[in-house]
Amino acid sequence: MGKTTVAASLALLAAKRGRRTLLCEVDAKGDVADLFETGPTKFAEREVQPGLWAMSMDTEASLRQYLALQLKLPLVARVGPLARMFDFVGSAAPGVKEIVTVGKLCWEVRERHYDCVVVDAAASGHIVSQLASPQAINSLVQVGLVRQQTGWMLDILSNPATTSVVVVTTPEEMPITETIELRERLAAETTVSLAAIVVNRVLPELFGRAEEAVFDALDAPRPVELLERELGGPAQPLLDAARLMVTMRRTRTSHLERLRDALGGAVPLLYVPFIFTRTHGLRSTRQVAEALSAELGY
C-alpha cells in the first residue's frame, strides 16, 4: 500500500513544518532507511533529516528501557533474566508484547520528547490487536505496575487530540474492502480515532471528455499512419499505453467510489498520486510529502 512511504512522508512534512518529529517503524524491514537514503534504523533514534528522528521498534530493548525507568530496584544485573521471562510470557500471554510497543510510543508522547510521533504500524490484520492491547491487559491484570501503566496509555490513545490512526490504502478492490473493514474494527474494538484515509498511488487522469473523444478518433488506422510518418516508427504502442492507463484508472475509480459511499463523508480522504520515478528514495518521499501537504491545504 506504500504504508511506510506515507508514514515517512507525513513525518517529513511535520518536521518541515517545524515540529520535532519521531518516526517509528514497528515491523522494521529497512524501508525507512531506503526512503531517507540513510543507514538502517535502530531502537535508539537517530536524526535522519533536520528535525526528524527515526527508530525501529525492538520489544526487548523497549522492555529494558521501561524497566530501567520505572522500577526503582537495583535492576541492572537482573534485567537479562527478567527480559527473558517477559519475552517468554509475551509469547503466550496476549497483549504483553504489544503493550511494550504501544507503551514505548505513548511514553515518548507523554514525556513530550517530540511534538509529533509518527508510527509505521503493523499490517491491517494486526493493528487492531496492538491498539487494543491496553484494554486486553486491563482485563487480565488486576494489580501491579503493568496495570498502573495501562491507564495513562489509554488516556493518550483515546484522546483524539493526541492520537489518531491514518489508514493507507490503494484504489484497488481488496485494499479498499479491507480499509472499510478496518474502519469498522477500529471503531468497535479500540478507543483510537480515525483521522484520515490516505489513498495512495492514484493514477493520473489523462483525458477530459473532449480529449477522450479525440483520443478514440486517433486510435484508428489512418491517424496512426499519419503519426507514424511524423515519428518515424510504430505509434500503436504509445496509444495502447494510453488506453491501458485510461482503463486502469477507470477500474480504480470505481473502488474509490465504493470507499466514498462507505464513509459517507465521515472521514477525510487524502489523495497521493502514483509517483513515476526510477527508484524509491528521498526524492519520491519528498514528492509524496508535497502531495500530502497540498491535500491538507498547507
* 69 touching another protein, by CB under 8 A: no
Between 8 and 116, CB nearer to another protein = 8
**Sites for another protein among residues 116-175 (CB under 8 A):** 123-126, 129, 132, 136, 139-147, 170, 172-175
Q: Is the CB of residue 121 less than 8 Å from the CB of residue 167?
A: no
With residue 168 as reference, give the H or E element that holds it.
strand 164-169
Judged by CB under 8 A, how many residues of this single chain contact another protein? 85
**Sites for another protein among residues 198-227 (CB under 8 A):** 204, 206-207, 210-211, 214-215, 217-218, 220, 222-223, 226-227
Between 94 and 162, CB nearer to another protein = 94
Shortest Cβ 248–another protein spacing (Å):
7
Angle at 219 between CA 242 and CA 214, to 5 degrees: 85
The DSSP secondary-structure symbol of 30 reads S
State how far the Cα of 101 lies from the Cα of 63, in Å rounded to an integer.
9
Between 30 and 160, CB nearer to another protein = 30
State how far the Cα of 228 lies from the Cα of 145, in Å rounded to an integer.
76
* 85 touching another protein, by CB under 8 A: yes
Residues 12-51, mask of contacts with another protein (x by CB under 8 A): ---------------x-xxx--x-----------------
State how far the Cα of 281 lies from the Cα of 277, in Å rounded to an integer.
9
* 94 touching another protein, by CB under 8 A: yes
Residue 176 neighbours by CB under 8 Å, 6+ apart? 169, 255, 256, 258, 259
**Sites for another protein among residues 253-292 (CB under 8 A):** 276-280
Shortest Cβ 41–another protein spacing (Å):
15
Closest CA to 114 of 27, 188, 47, 204: 47
